[in-house]
Every structure is written in structure tokens, then in C-alpha cells.
Structure 1
Amino acid sequence: YSNWINQVAGTTPNPHPEAAEHNEPWPGGRANHYLFDLNRDWAWQKQKESEARLKYYHTIMPHIHVDFHEQGSNSPYYFAPAAEPIHEQVTQWQRDFQEMIGRNHAKYFDENGWLFFTKESFDILYPSYGDSYPMYNGAIGMTYEQGSSDLEILTDEGDTLKLTDAIAHHYTTGMSTVEMASQHNAKMVDEFAAYFDKAVTNPKAKYKTFVVKGSNHPDKLKKLEAFLQKNLIQYGKSSTKKPISAFNYQSGQTQNVSVEDADLVVSTFQPKAVMVQALFEPDTYASINDTYDITAWALPYMMGLDAYATTERLAVSEGTPTYAAPEVKVGATPAAYLANWETMEDAKFLAEILKAGIKLRYANEAFTVNGKTYDRGSLIITRKGNMHMGSRFDNIVKEAAAKYGRSLYSTPTTFVDSGKDFGSNGVPFLKAPRILALRGDGVSSLGFGEFWYFMEQELHYPITMVNTDDFGRVNLDDYDVVVMPSGSYGSMLNESRMEAFSSWIRGGGTVVAIERAMSTFQGKGGFNLKRYATDSEQKEATKQTDEEKEAIALTPYADRGSRFESSRLPGAIFKLKIDNTHPLGFGYSGEYFTIKNNGSRYAYLPNGWNVGIIESEGSYVTGVAGEDAKKALAKSMVFGVENVGRGAVVYMADNPLFRAFWENGKLFVANALFFVGQ
């Protein structure tokens, strides 16, 4: 930012909003290196800055935490009390003290003639903000928002907002907060202690215990453990052996379940009781539907875990799950090494050996060899094709498997007991993909950053990042996959460039189009992507009765927000039916829980592969979603693949890499990059 502002600002600040100094180029100055908004990352701690911050936070556990922000220059100053919805776990004292602090701020703002607003926009629900996370940890968490001034800027009211004004406003609320903390220090300390006493002895929680089955994949359990440890959430084992009544996250039904020794058990009777409830509860209660952010994030859905929530309190003892060591059953000089395809750790293993120049194939269908069955997606690393590497071939494969804790098997023959032999055309060669990722004007900086982070810090596989302004100069024949993060690509792809792009796809290229990037292909010649299959289907879906039209037309102005209530979808969870026989679905079961934060719906592909679909209105699981939104999404495609000539377009109406925390979606992206289009 400093480098840029010094290039565009003159010796005298220019207050006109159209001046260059008030219009930052892509991606804007708020984000970190990977273009993440760190004020969405408190609980997830996906970025190193967040992880370091939370380590320090937990050493001090403040009684008050203020997150100083800026907002649009035409918005007056915002301070607490927060807007609804406020999570039901927030205590009355936390609400009251926010009110007291806000009234103290107001006194000083009124004295100076400064405008402000409270109780609007900024709620306390999503657990990963700089105000909500402290609130869920006993503190008085607050956001203070100052209109952005740069050095000077003219507001719509004709006033000039200066940086000195912004500093004065933030300084005043900061000192006012300290003043109130000083005046009420005894009460504040007592309430803070009482908060944790109650958490340990009598937590306010519908569900008292959460049980994560030990039968889940060890990779997923390890990831859950790491997450709980980062947030200082206690977990262990339970000695309870009798069946208990519990809510099944996967089925959405309450049933009897037995707790086993290998299960990971989390009790709400602990200092982090509120965080446990906020992160695990199947349904997040929202007092109103008008929310600032997503409204569903339960860990079992996010991580793809077989888990249960029970209203019974189970005794939890210390102890952590034990995981069997990876199996390494390999011969001296096997004809092929074999590895499963089940989690992101398998994808990291694949990326590692591809970077080392290893050639391999993968299974399009299950097969059995040496009495062991391997599922679709399994990696078949034959000595044939790698013989020029000599013993390095074996060392690379074994070392990569050890690095990522993968089980590794081998076979002395490529002749299988059942399924296709390894030399079959039905066992495709897996070419190391050369990947181009688009960034720059028109592209969501957050969407690009999520993909960049995923490739560089999680999958560890190289990409070439290209600005949209430079796309016309790219020789696409140098690449196998083009990734289009959410965004608008109309300026990049004029008619001639779109034809060249389509020609590259038809010649064997693969495109991964995420969220809004799908509109690039919607209704375009040569592609079958549509919102509705037919005009009559669209007309039927959007028709209104005369009574409905009249009710909308006669909505009182004071209730104008209610017009959009039934179509709201700020971020809810839906259950998808997955075709795991298609390469895009390899490694998944027949179901997947998606975080859907847009109402875009797409018809089933008539001649493509509808890999992830919303079957009906009943596919809705939890979170704020209006009735019209749920109705519109019924019978729609979320993940699909359209074959175009020898190439393919992968459509992802939902972003599996959303904020990097939706762990169970990441394998879809690896599948799209490595398997689709091979």
C-alpha cells in the first residue's frame, strides 16, 4: 500500500473520490500475502498470521478485545452494541457491558458533534471474527468501524473526512473503552471468572457431548485433533458403554449409538464450552435471518466426519485416539506400487511424486490384485515408464509415502485378479498437469487467494499465475488446465478470444470454473450450461400467483426488507448426492455436505456428468435459507463436468476452497486438476 500510495498521491491530498489515490488497484490493500481476509480466520487459523495471533491471545485471555476496522467513507462511525443475530451463548453481562461501553462512546461523540451508529450490520454469530471469537471466549468482543479517509476524501454530504479525523475517532473509542474497563474492573473480572466457572460446571448447551467415531479416516481425525488443539478445546475418551440417544450428523436423524474406545469425545463441561457449542452444534440459532456472514459451519459437516451430538453428559477421561501405522507392504523390485485415493494426504503424495518426474496410472474402476481390492482413483505406479530412473524410482515413491504417512502396497505382476489389467486403455496414464490460474481485474481476490494458498501451502504443486490483462498473449498449448476462480471474465474474453479459448478446450484442455466464473460458459455456443433446462421450466419455477404478486406490490415501505426474506441465502449447508464413479467424485462417499453462500442454480447438464446435485428441497440441512431459495435450488447441479471435444469444463457452483476451512471439499479440486480430462 505504501509503495502504491506514494506513486499516485500528490504533495497535497486530493479529496475527490474519483482521484487515483482513493481507488486501489486489484487486489486492494486489506488482505494478507495469500489475499485472505484475516478477520474471517480467527477460529480456523488457516493463515500463519491467525495462528500466531491466537497463540498469543490464549496466553493473555483478555477481558475486553476491540477489533479496530475501517468501512466505506460515507458511513459514520460504528461501535457496539452489536446487531442481531447475537449467538444465544452470549451472556447477559456481555450484552449489558457492550451497551454501557457504547453509551460512554456516544457521550464523547455527541460532545464533538461526530455521527455514529450502533446495533446495525455487525452481528455476533459467525465464530471466526475478531469480536465473536473473543465473545465465545468470555471476553467483551467488539468491532469499531471508521469510515475510510485515506488522507482526505469528500463524503456524499460534502464534508471532507481527514485521516486526522479517523485517528481522533478511533483514539476516542479506545480510551473510552479503557475508561469503562477501569470503572467496572471488579465486576468485569468477576463476570469473566463466573463465565468459565459456569462453563465447567453448568454449561448452557442443548447438547452436552459430541462423539466423533473412531472409524473415521485417520487423516480426518488427525486434522480434527489439530484444530481442537489450536483452539485449546479439551477432548478424550468416554467409558460409557451403554447405547445413547444422539443426533446423527450424516443422516440428520436421532438414533441410538454405542460409544466405543476408539471414539473421540468432546464434552461441553470444560472452559471452552461455548466454543465447543458454537463449533459443533448442528443448528446455529439465529434470532433474525438478516446476517452479515454465513450461518452454518458445524465441524462434522465441514470435515466430513461420522459424528453424533447427544443431550446426555458423558464422562470424558484423558486420552487420545491411537492410529495404526501406515501399512508398507512392498516387494524388492515390484512391477507396480499401489496407493489408495481417499483424502487430501493422498493428493499431496501424488503431487510429490509427479514433481519428481514419476510416471503413473490411476484406476477408473475398482480392481483386485494379490487378494486386495483397490477402489476407483487408486494410484498405480508401474515400474514400466520409470525404468530409466533405476533405484531412484523406488526411493522416490517410498520416501514420498513416508513423508505423507501413506500406506503403500506393491504387486509383482500387472495381471489383476479382477478389473482391468494395468496396461489396459481403461487404466489411464496420469500426465502431470501444467496449471494456469487466472488473477487480476475481474477475478475475486479472495477466490484467487484461496486457490493460490491451496496449491502452494496444502497441495504443494506448482502453478503459473496469469493476470487477466495478459491472458490474450498466453500460448495455451503450454498448459493443460486453466483455473478460473470466481469472477467476471467478460472483459478478458471478447468474441475472438472466447473462440480461441473454446478451441483450446476442444483440443484437450481442461477448465475449472468456480462460482461466478461459470457464467463465462452459460448460454454460450458449444456449451450446455444453463440456469434452467428449458424456458418452460424457468417460467414454472419463477411464476407467481396473483395473490403473491399483490402481496409483494402492497408491501409497506417499512417492511421492504421482507420482500427478499424468502430468497436469502447468506451461507447454509445442503446435502449433495455424489456420483463417486466419476473421476471428479473419486474418494467420496455418495453424499457430501456443501457450504452454499449463493443462490445461483444450474440445470442438470443434459450431455455431461452431474457429479454433485441437490436432489430436492429436502436436501437443505442447516443455516439461514429462505423458502424460495431452497425451492429454486431443488434438482440443480452443483458440481459437474461437460466434455467439450477432447477437453472438459469442470463446473463448481460452490467453492470447495471457501476460506480454506471447508476441509472436506478440497479433494474435489485435486480430482479436477489431476483426474478430469486425462
Structure 2
Amino acid sequence: MLQSVRTTVLALGIMALMSPLKAEELSYEAVIGYSLGERIATSYDARRYMETLAGESDRISLVHQGESYERRPLIAAIITHPDNHARLDEIRETAQRLGDPRRGEARIENQPAVLWLGGSIHGFELSGTDGLLKLMEELVTSDSDEVSEWLMNTVVIIDPTLNPDGRDAFAMFNHRRIGRAPNPSQKDWSNDFTGWDALGFRTSHYFFDINRDWFAHTHPETRARMPLIQAWRPQVVVDAHEMGHDTEFYFDPPTQPRNPFFPDFAWDWFEDFGAAYADAFDAEGIEYTKRDIFNYFYPAYTTSWGSYQGAVGMLYEQGSTRGLALELSDGSVRTLEQALHQQYVAARAAVALSSRERERLLRDYHSAHEAAIHDGRSGTRRYILTPEGDPGILAETVAMLLRNGIEVHRLEESVRLRGLSDRLGERVGSREIPAGSFVIEAAQPRNRLIRALLEPETPVPEDFLAQARERIDRGENPRFYDITAWSLPLLFDLPAYASSSGASLPLVPQEARPVMGVELPDAAYAWLIDGRQTAAVAAAFQLRNQGYRVSVSPRAFEAGGESLASGTIIVRRGGQKEGLETALAGLVKDYDLRVVPVDGGRTTGGDLPALGGADTFALAAGRIGLLAEHPMHAYSFGWAWHTLDQTYGLDTTVLRLESLGGTRLESFSTLILSDTFNASALAERIGEEGMERLKRWVRDGGNLVVIGNSVDFAREHLELISLEDDWAHEEGEAPAHRISVPGAFFATEMDARHWLAGGYTAAPKVLVNSSRIFRAPDQPPSTGRNAVLRYAQGPVAGHAWEESIERLPGGVFAWEERAGSGRVIAFPEDINFRGYWRGVDRLFLNAVVLGPSA
């Protein structure tokens, strides 16, 4: 990994000697043509400035980390003294030893502290990028003794544009609407945009908040940054954001709740850095706040993830200027120039403290990693992911752990272990652990992150819960800043164990994403793609749309010497057009699939008497439409789009809501309505004509999938489904106080014989992150109405209030209802949450792909 980073640096040809040019000739304004704060710096402008500095100065080198979805380069600058640049390999090697005491002694006498500073991961939060560019200008061009000392004592890695796609989208929006001078009015069209547009500017290409992506790496922006951060093992990580316009600058220490696995090193150093920031802001008369609003309970933010990587991960939140200038509620105006200066002041203070306290910072960092390894030698000693689940999703989980710097081993032969707990933390005694299982030893440097991601439960502190409840009872935000459960075995629906045993195991290191599939074997009669594999549905969709016949078994069965799950895809050799074997082999490779060949249509056990049994159904060719734009929730839309388009490669047509009235819906087999901010607003936007066309399309055989608040749209406005709102009050009763579940996992009860449950050998645990609770109507059983998954008692991980715990059991998580010749499939919770709730991918693909044919 270290060698690859060094090769990238050298390949760019940027280790130039210091030029005699004066500092003012290398200022941002001199190079780019406008001053920082005068216009919104685009990612191209930032890159051009960085490349100019690197071509003229021996203080800076650049690393090309990768590209965004929209092909914008992701460039980071390494800034340090020329003497340090001459020994970067040595510095990186010492950084590795500091971050892993098992590698031997790490001498810190001449070791700089390493800082990683990132800007504006939310695209329209402008000042983080600009403030870091201002700091970059000073570090590279200043000849002051103070800066020279900083450069000797630190290596400063600046990644100024964490989200170039979102930033450039907003920059273009603003530049096209700016007049002779910036207008600070909140109603000026340069500062005024819809909620859909706002989330588009905040997020990356697929409308993802990539500040929540740091452990999962669903997006190329995050994945591309992993090698550099893992190579340099920074002691300080800073994430420069903006928040609401009527607030002042926030810096750490954070507020409660504190995650019980959160590293002490970061928590202790928050005080030192917080004091340094306060001193710097006091000296300039800048208002600020700390220990307010923001907490690090959830491990996927840039800052909390940085701390779990061993650094002091810190957050800056500057009051927003929205564009170049914005009028605040008191009538004053904040400019981008003022905002970026405050980001610069904070980042400068971080560099100064890291330089001044270099030795203590490095010693504490090293000691923290010794303590992390020691912690793994007691209590839970190892975590085990067994291969009974979806093999493709298991492989992706292993790859994700490796990118996070977590060591993973593979079990070469089966062993019997004692003292095991399952993925819910329940004691299960001894079990036979099969060969091919993946083992994560706790005694390693990323111990804190391992526990945060793999422990089934992260308890919320009781004192915080008491305060949160008081806020709810006053009608206020309870201040859960995110979900309260995220254990990977639950998110990914993977069988897993935790073991207190330290027994020696026959392990080999796993150094890359494991290959789980096989080359396409020869088959005389048919190929069977085991239903446990979610990607099997995607492969079936691709095959059918290429003109090949495919069928699906909603029953588990045995054939070819293998046990096959419900939802298995059957591809017969006979009666097909030419090219089947080539097409199937390509899909098997692309989707990393396991395929079972059979020489005849007979089965040997299970619920399917033969491959042509009456329960099997042929898959029809399909075309998927996804509805977009305000008032759809852009996050939910993006999650669904990404799941279909990127994760499983299913061609999807994105339709504007307003176009429904004039679109030939008959050409679509499935339409998807992701979550919406408001069901009534959605009805108004689609219009009466659009809703009538949509209802007629469903009754004529269309497959409508509705998610989140769009369930209410289908109930109340389309009147196509009969689910009942559990919170609704009877006439004369007071309205119920709706209580939201802050992201907790609940067990479910599943109708295993329903086609929508295909691929699941047991009911999955599901994430509840709303107040939506629906019940099946109190009517006689009907094949036209099916509650495929209902909530069971819970929660099994995370927090829920008593009102939700009482109401949820029996509530519907997955619902199918026939309407004429078509059907509506409803998911009250967002089944595509953040692109990393992968355990219910199969449920979503079943609804979208199999729904029109089942």
C-alpha cells in the first residue's frame, strides 16, 4: 500500500525544486484570477491551484486518489518541509509503526505529526474548501519562522474538495444567478432553492450524504481515499463543514452521548484542541460554540471514523453563507470571505498545536494503539462471519473491513469453538465453525472500530435517554444525531459469532476481496443460481432482457447434490436462442455467482417436486421506472437509484413526476416511488391526470413499489392499498403522540412461502427509523393481500421508546396487495437506507424484478 502511494506521487512529477517566485505570485488570486471568497472555488480551480503550487514549490506534492462518479479527480496535497519531503518513505514507515506497535519500535525524535484536513464533504457547505485553500497558500508560500517550524514538525495532508460533484453543481447554480454584486437576501434566486435542489447540492452524484459513508465505502469518493489515509496513519483528522446560517462556529469537544467504544485518545485530546481553537478565536473576536449539538455516537462520520482509525477526529461547523453572502435573522450579513477565514483560523490552530505538542501527541497515539491491542486479548477475542449467508454480500463485507485497515483471516478447516455468542449477543455455547469462515481477531490496532462495527449492541447512555425523552415530551427534537444500531451482521443479514476463546485456529490472512463464485460449469439440462445470492435476481433480469427464458422457484429444494434456497433462478439449456452459455458465463463472472449444473429436471427433496413444478413461474422481460424530483426525498431516491444502477447494474429510467400525465406507462413493468417529504404534496405535483394514469396502469397489470411516506400516497390518494395507520385515532379521540424509532433493529415474522420472501432462509432483522406503523386490515384472509414480513417483539439492537415497542409487533414491514391485474408492494421503512443496509437488498429486488411476473 505504501509503495503504491509513493508511486502515484512520483508519477505526477511534482517533486519540483522551490522556485524564486515571490509569495504574492503564488497567491490564490494571482494564480486563479479571483480572491478566495470573491467567487465559489470550483473543484477545477482548486486542482489548478494545487498543481501550480506543486510545480513551483518543494514543500508540496500531490496524490491523485481516484475520481468521483462524474469523473472529477480527487486530489490531495502533502505539505511539509522540503527536508521531510526528501524522506517521505521513512516518515510513512514510522507512522505505520506508531499505528501498529506489533511492527517494532517507532522512533519519534524526528517524526512529524501527521494531519489530514478535509473540506466541504457537503457540496454547498462552501467555506471548508476555501478555508483550507487559504491555509495551503500560507503553508506553501510563507517564509515566516513560525510556518517553517510547523512544516518541520508536521506533515499536513489537505484534501480540500471532498465532494467535487456536489460542490461544482452548486457553484454553477450560483454563478448563473449572480448579479453585478452578491445579493444577501435569502429570497434572491442565488440563495433560494427547493429541498430537492438543496439535497442535490449537499450530496454526491447519487444523492448520497457521503459523510455517512466512511465505514461502508459505497461510493468511489470514499473508497479512493482509503489507501492514502491507511498509508499515512494521521494523528489528527479534521472535517470542515457548515451548518445553519443563524449559528456561530462550532468546534469540539462534542456533546453526549459518547459511544462506549469511542477511543480515549481522541476524547482526551479534544480538550487540548478545543482550548487551542478557543484561544485563536478569542484573539480575533470570533464567536464560537462547543459541546453543543454534535456527538460522535455513530461511527460513520468523517470525524468519528477518523477517531476509530486512531486519530483525533474533529469537526468544524461554520454558520452557512449559502452562497457568497447571506442576510442573517438579525439583519447582519455574513460573507463567504468571513466564513472561510474562520475555517482557516481553526485549521491553522490545529497545525500550530500539533507542531507544538508533536512529541506528546505521537507518544499518546502510540500508547493508545498498544492499549487497543491489549483490550482485544480479553472479553470478546474474535468475531466470526460464517458462509451460510449471501456469499456475494459476505465478500463485499470482507472487502469493506480490509479497506478500513482491519485484518481479516480465513478459516482453512472447520473447528469447534466454545463460549460463542450469536449476532444478537445471545449465548449459544459451542458450535462447529465451517471452513471458509472469516475471522476478525480483536487484538489488533483497529480494535475500537472492530467493536463498534461488529458488536450487536451499542447501548445509549441512560442520562442522555432521560434528556432525550424530556425533549420529546416538550415537542422538541430528541437530538439523536443518527441511528442507534448499525452492527454489520444485522445490516448485511450475515450469520456471525463472537468468541471469548483465544484458542489457536488454522487461519490464513485474507488480503483482498474473496472470490465466492465459480466459472460456469457445463450442464446438460439447466443451470441453477442459488436463491441465497441477491445478485441472482439481477442476473435473471439481465438474461431475460437479452431474450433468454428464465424461471424462478419460490420453494426451497434439492438438486444436483445441493440444497437450494427459495428464489433460485432456473436457466434451462433447451429452447433458448444462441449465445446463452456465453451470456450466462459473463453474468456469473460479473456478479460473482455460484451456479449448480443439473442433468435433468428432477429434484431430490424440499418443497419443489420438479424444476417445472406448478409453483415455479417464468420471468417476463422488464423495464424499471423510478420517479424523481420535488417533493420526493432526494436521499431515498438516490439510495434506490444507486441500488439498481450501481450495485446491481439494472437499467433504470428516471422519470420526472410532472411527466407522468404524458408518459406511456404501458412500456414499464415496474414503477418505484421512493420516500417523499409529504404525500399530499406528491399528489399535487403528479396531478389528477397523472394519478388517474398511474391507477389505471396498476390495474392493467403494472407493478408499483412504494417506500416510506409514499405508502400514504398509495393509501390515501391512489386508494390502491388497504393498510391502516396504527397511529390514527378514532373519531372523538385525541390524536396519538407519534414517536419515532431512532434507527433500531427489530425481529420479523415472515411468510416464507410467499414469492417476495424468496432467497431468505430465515426472517431478516429490519431497521426501523421512523414513526410509520401500518397494520393489515381486519378482513378475512385473501390471496390478494399479503403481509409478507411483520414486526416481532423488539428491539433486538438499538433504542426504541415504549410507545413504539408496544405498537410495532404485528405491524407490516413488507406488504403486497393486488389491484386489478397489477399489484402494489409497500415498504414503510426505506429498504435502500444509505446503500449499506444490504440485508434487505433481496427483498427490494424481488419486488422490483419478480413482482411483474409472480
The one-letter code of the counterpart of 1:31 is T
Q: CA deviation at 1:236?
A: 2.3
Matched, 1:102 2:274: yes
After TM superposition, list the pairs within 5 Å mapping 1:91-490 onto structure 2: 91-149=263-321, 150-203=323-376, 206-236=379-409, 243-249=417-423, 252-259=426-433, 261-287=435-461, 288-289=464-465, 290-315=479-504, 318-319=507-508, 326=518, 330-332=522-524, 334=525, 336-366=526-556, 374-383=564-573, 386=576, 389-390=577-578, 392-410=579-597, 419=608, 426-487=615-676, 488=678, 489-490=682-683
Contact kept in structure 2, 1:541 and 1:632, CA below 8 Å: no
Moved more, 361-370 or 10-19: 361-370
Q: Distance in 2 between matches of 1:538 and 1:341?
A: 50
Moved more, 48-57 or 466-475: 466-475
Q: Which protein, 1 or 2, shows the higher relative CO under an 8 Å CA cutoff with sep ≥ 6?
A: 1
- Classify the secondary structure of the residue corresponding to 1:490: helix
Cα deviation 1:357-394 (Å, max 9, x = unaligned): 212222234566677765432222245653xx23x233
Select which of 180, 191, 197 maps to 1:27.
197
- Classify the secondary structure of the residue corresponding to 1:668: helix
Change (3 A) 1:286 1:423: closer
Change (3 A) 1:52 1:257: same
Contact kept in structure 2, 1:89 and 1:204, CA below 8 Å: no
Q: CA deviation at 1:231?
A: 1.1
Q: CA deviation at 1:349?
A: 2.2
The one-letter code of the counterpart of 1:657 is N
- Classify the secondary structure of the residue corresponding to 2:685: coil
Q: Distance in 2 between matches of 1:407 and 1:272?
A: 32
Contact kept in structure 2, 1:579 and 1:590, CA below 8 Å: no
Q: Distance in 2 between matches of 1:35 and 1:495?
A: 28
Q: Percent identity?
A: 22
Q: Distance in 2 between matches of 1:439 and 1:139?
A: 40
- Classify the secondary structure of the residue corresponding to 1:611: strand
Q: Distance in 1 between matches of 2:406 and 2:835?
A: 21
Change (3 A) 1:16 1:205: farther
Equivalent residue number for residue 653 of structure 1 = 828
Q: CA deviation at 1:416?
A: 6.6
Change (3 A) 1:350 1:538: farther
Alignment RMSD (CA, Å): 2.9
The one-letter code of the counterpart of 1:611 is V
Q: CA deviation at 1:409?
A: 4.3
Q: Distance in 1 between matches of 2:339 and 2:563?
A: 65
Change (3 A) 1:367 1:171: closer
Cα deviation 1:136-192 (Å, max 9, x = unaligned): 121111110111111111111211111111011101111111122122211111011
Equivalent residue number for residue 475 of structure 2 = none
Cα deviation 1:177-231 (Å, max 9, x = unaligned): 1122122211111011111111223349752321223444533432232122111
Equivalent residue number for residue 628 of structure 1 = 803
- Classify the secondary structure of the residue corresponding to 2:813: strand
The one-letter code of the counterpart of 1:282 is P
The one-letter code of the counterpart of 1:531 is D
- Classify the secondary structure of the residue corresponding to 2:672: strand
Give the number of equivalent residue pairs: 649
Cα deviation 1:604-640 (Å, max 9, x = unaligned): 255511111112xx33111121122222212200111
Contact kept in structure 2, 1:571 and 1:597, CA below 8 Å: yes
Q: CA deviation at 1:526?
A: 4.0
Matched, 1:673 2:841: no
Q: CA deviation at 1:47?
A: 0.3
Contact kept in structure 2, 1:347 and 1:459, CA below 8 Å: no
Moved more, 17-26 or 251-260: 251-260
Q: Distance in 2 between matches of 1:493 and 1:64?
A: 49
- Classify the secondary structure of the residue corresponding to 1:358: coil
Change (3 A) 1:220 1:154: closer
The one-letter code of the counterpart of 2:437 is D
Equivalent residue number for residue 556 of structure 1 = none
Change (3 A) 1:538 1:201: farther
Contact kept in structure 2, 1:353 and 1:396, CA below 8 Å: yes
Q: CA deviation at 1:237?
A: 5.5
Cα deviation 1:98-134 (Å, max 9, x = unaligned): 1222222223333433322111221112111111011
Q: CA deviation at 1:54?
A: 1.7
Equivalent residue number for residue 43 of structure 1 = 215
Equivalent residue number for residue 13 of structure 1 = 182
Contact kept in structure 2, 1:351 and 1:460, CA below 8 Å: no
Q: CA deviation at 1:479?
A: 0.8
Change (3 A) 1:659 1:187: same
The one-letter code of the counterpart of 2:311 is A
- Classify the secondary structure of the residue corresponding to 1:401: helix
Change (3 A) 1:599 1:423: same
Contact kept in structure 2, 1:208 and 1:269, CA below 8 Å: yes
Change (3 A) 1:375 1:50: closer
Q: CA deviation at 1:348?
A: 3.3
Change (3 A) 1:282 1:314: farther
Moved more, 643-652 or 399-408: 399-408
Q: Distance in 2 between matches of 1:226 and 1:574?
A: 27
Equivalent residue number for residue 247 of structure 2 = 75
- Classify the secondary structure of the residue corresponding to 2:587: helix
TM-score, with length taken from structure 2: 0.71
Change (3 A) 1:103 1:410: closer
Change (3 A) 1:283 1:205: farther
Moved more, 80-89 or 436-445: 80-89
Contact kept in structure 2, 1:245 and 1:254, CA below 8 Å: yes
Q: Distance in 2 between matches of 1:248 and 1:37?
A: 32
Moved more, 265-274 or 375-384: 375-384
Q: Distance in 1 between matches of 2:642 and 2:728?
A: 39
Moved more, 497-506 or 404-413: 404-413
Cα deviation 1:413-450 (Å, max 9, x = unaligned): 55777846666664322112111101111111111111
Q: Distance in 2 between matches of 1:339 and 1:15?
A: 59
Equivalent residue number for residue 611 of structure 1 = 788
- Classify the secondary structure of the residue corresponding to 1:498: helix
Q: CA deviation at 1:339?
A: 2.6
For structure 2, the residue ranges without an aligned partner over 5 or more in a row are 1-169, 466-478
Contact kept in structure 2, 1:643 and 1:649, CA below 8 Å: yes
Q: CA deviation at 1:311?
A: 3.6
Q: Distance in 2 between matches of 1:538 and 1:186?
A: 70
Q: Distance in 1 between matches of 2:584 and 2:414?
A: 43
Equivalent residue number for residue 725 of structure 2 = 531
The one-letter code of the counterpart of 2:292 is E
Select which of 492, 511, 518 maps to 2:711.
518
Q: Distance in 1 between matches of 2:451 and 2:361?
A: 23
Q: CA deviation at 1:252?
A: 3.6
Contact kept in structure 1, 2:560 and 2:596, CA below 8 Å: no
Equivalent residue number for residue 26 of structure 2 = none
The one-letter code of the counterpart of 1:663 is R
Moved more, 423-432 or 153-162: 423-432
Cα deviation 1:249-283 (Å, max 9, x = unaligned): 25844433345554322221101111111111111
Q: Distance in 2 between matches of 1:460 and 1:623?
A: 32
